[in-house]
Amino acid sequence: STDLTSTVGYDSIIQHLNDGRKNCKEFEDFLKERAIIEEKYGKELINLSKKKPCGQTELNTLKRSLDVFKQQIDNVGQGHIQLAQTLREEAKKMEDFREKQKLHRKKIELIMEAIHKNRNLQYKKTMEVKQTCCCFLPYGALLYPSSLSHFWQLFLKLAQTKSALEDSDRSYQQSVTTLEKIREEWQKEHIKACEFFETQECERINYFRNALWLHVNQLSQDCVQNDQKYEEIRKSLEMCSIEKDIDFFVNLRKTGSLAPAPVVYENYYNTQRNATPVRSPVPVPISRRGPLPTPTSAPGEPDYATVDGYTLI
């Protein structure tokens, strides 16, 4: 800004830096919340595999398959708990990074605040001198009808109960008569039923085995799909440009290309002494800033973080 006392450009920069710090905090909180979710999910999977019966009376090969299935579910749960711990460590790194930047930036802000204060005081003093030189419901009534209604309900229920008892007695007599017939038929059908159950059990074991196989395939497919989503994030990070982001911010919040002109002395006391006023110099355009600083990384920190042993499926 051409206004000497204006801090609109500086304030915009500070606001942008504070917003960046806030965004880091939001991402840090996101990691912490995701860690809570992963840990809870992992514990729930472990409890599910240990406490929930899943074919506990099975025998032989299917039992062994179920044991492997539950053990692997437990391992998946342990993996999610480990992931939660990793996310918390990453959140702590983000917190340390934020605080380190805050401390470093605070030193510069204190210097700038002192400069702004001194500049504004001097400007105010100069302008004051210039000005001096220039010139000097109630529900109780419903109780009885309600009680009467309740009486009729009990009376109706009593009549229904009596009728039901009579029907039950007749049904009991009929049941005794037909019971013997049913017992004889049961003996004949028993062998047929056992043969049917045997066939059905074979089909059940086959279906159960195939369902377990499908379930594991679904979990594997979910991992592949998640990796594809994470790959999209990695692709977007490869497109991230520090210079483009800085240039975008500068173009968005720039306040002008001219620096404030110096404040010149104007003689109001003795006009004969200095008849020719000092001419204000032409504002000089601000030159393009130098190259962007190279972000520094901690010792041993790679430019792009990788996961040990990662392979793209």
For residue 217, tell me if it sits in a domain.
yes
| Chain segment 18-71, per-residue pLDDT in tens | 888 888 888 889 889 989 999 999 999 899 888 888 777 776 777 777 788 888
Range of the domain at 11: 7-253
Confirm whether pTM is higher than 0.75: no
For residue 263, tell me if it sits in a domain.
no
Specify whether the CB–CB gap between 285 and 257 falls below 8 A: yes
CATH number, domain with residue 38: 1.20.1270.60
For residue 71, tell me if it sits in a domain.
yes
For residue 145, tell me if it sits in a domain.
yes
Instruction: Output the CA angle 73-33-79, nearest 5 degrees.
Output: 25
For residue 301, tell me if it sits in a domain.
no
For residue 230, tell me if it sits in a domain.
yes
Specify whether the CB–CB gap between 283 and 258 falls below 8 A: yes
For residue 164, tell me if it sits in a domain.
yes
For residue 312, tell me if it sits in a domain.
no
Q: How many domains is the chain built from?
A: 1
The chain-wide mean pLDDT, for the chain, equals 75
